[in-house]
Amino acid sequence: MIIIVLFGPPGSGKGTQAQILAQRFHLMHISTGDLFRYNMKNNTPLGLEAKSYIEKGKLVPDELTTEMLKDELQRNSDQKGFILDGYPRTTSQAEALDHLLQELYNSDVDKTLALHVEDEALVKRILKRSIDSGRSDDGDENIIRNRIKEYYEKTEIVSEYYKNQNKLVEVKGEGNIEEITQALSHELEEILQSKD
């Protein structure tokens, strides 16, 4: 079982890279955003619970997010491995993930790949994305800068958590998509070789 965590601030291309890598290495891409949308759209018990928090303007508790992930991992236990995108976002989620992987697969996170992109490049990318996709939350520079700041404040601690376990690798997230994919693929190939 191969478990990769992909980190990256908004606009870093994390979602795009996760999809490419999942296809290239025959892994399953699990995005927390997709998990939320799936559970809420299908009115699953977890989705209804998440909705009740969101409708009150509250954050969905870590435990509930972890339950959704557990459900998804159990439903897809025949996979060769997973690329997690958007989880963990807090140290308590990282610890919960460790317990979950041990419980389900007697396994651990193999590596955390963190895409590093300069803030100004992120802002430009997101503003361009707002024109291409029509996402209203991508069109306001103040909101974008706040999201980037919030990302660093929250995930910096999670990065440290994996750095202390020698599992954090920073990858330059600037350049064309293929160059970034190559750098990430190199890291994944090393993991696959160590598992052989």
Please report, in range form, the residues annotated as the binding site for AMP: 32, 37, 58-60, 86-89, 93, 135, 147
Annotated binding-site members: 11-16, 32, 37, 58-60, 86-89, 93, 129, 135, 147, 175
Tokens of 121: 């490049």
* Nearest CA-CA partner of 119 in 92, 87, 141, 95: 141
Element (DSSP H or E) covering residue 4: strand 2-7
Angstrom distance (rounded) from CA 94 to CA 66: 10
b or e along 64-91 (b: 16 or more beta carbons within 10 Å of the residue's beta carbon)? bbbbbbbbbbeeeeeeebbbbbbbbbbe
Order of strands across the sheet that contains 2-7: 28-31, 81-85, 2-7, 111-116, 168-172
> Which residue type occupies 17?
Q
Annotated binding-site members for ATP: 11-16, 129, 175
